[in-house]
Amino acid sequence: MSGRRANPIIMMLAWRAKKLKVEDVEKILAAVASMSEEPFTLTDVIERLPDEVKADRNRRRRVGNLLQALVSVGYLSKPSERKWMKNAPTLSHFLSQHLLELSSIEMLSPRLSPAGGKVIGRRQRLGQASST
């Protein structure tokens, strides 16, 4: 990671696709982003990864796990058993749509007034009632 801090979304994807390093997730996302809008296979993605990933059988298998995780969050879909398709040009495009939706949901949620004074008041009354 060369001194920079990992993106929290990348870190969560690395947790979801067990045993992948953050750097691996970054490389896989870059490979997926470079894919055309047509359905692609796991082999298509692996061909776009660095040789150290291609050479490691376990890391290649985990690429499929990450693609499945991306299906579960909605960035990818599976038109067939062995093919994936992007639902947005990049993960950042996909997430930006959902962040806007989340923002509007948060604005609609009722604003709760701070209950700090009420809680203290109740505790004081309870304390007074128990001391009498």
Closest by Cα among 27, 39, 95, 12 to 63: 27
What's the CA gap between 21 and 87, in Å, rounded? 24
Q: What is the DSSP string of 83-125?
A: EEEESSSSHHHHHHHHHHHHHHHHHHSPPPPP-HHHHHHHHHH
Residue ranges and CATH numbers for the domains of the chain are 8-95 (1.10.10.10)
| Angle of CA points 92, 100, 113, to nearest 5° | 135
- Bridge partners for 83 per DSSP: 41, 80
How do the pLDDT tens digits run along the chain, 132 residues long?
455 788 888 888 888 877 788 999 999 999 999 999 899 999 999 999 999 888 888 888 899 999 999 999 999 999 999 999 999 999 988 888 777 777 777 777 666 655 555 555 555 555 555 555
Nearest to 30 by CA among 12, 2, 50: 50
Which stretch of DSSP H or E encloses residue 72? Answer: helix 57-73
For residues 64 and 11, what is the distance between their CA atoms, to the nearest angstrom? 17
Q: Is the pTM of this model over 0.85?
A: no
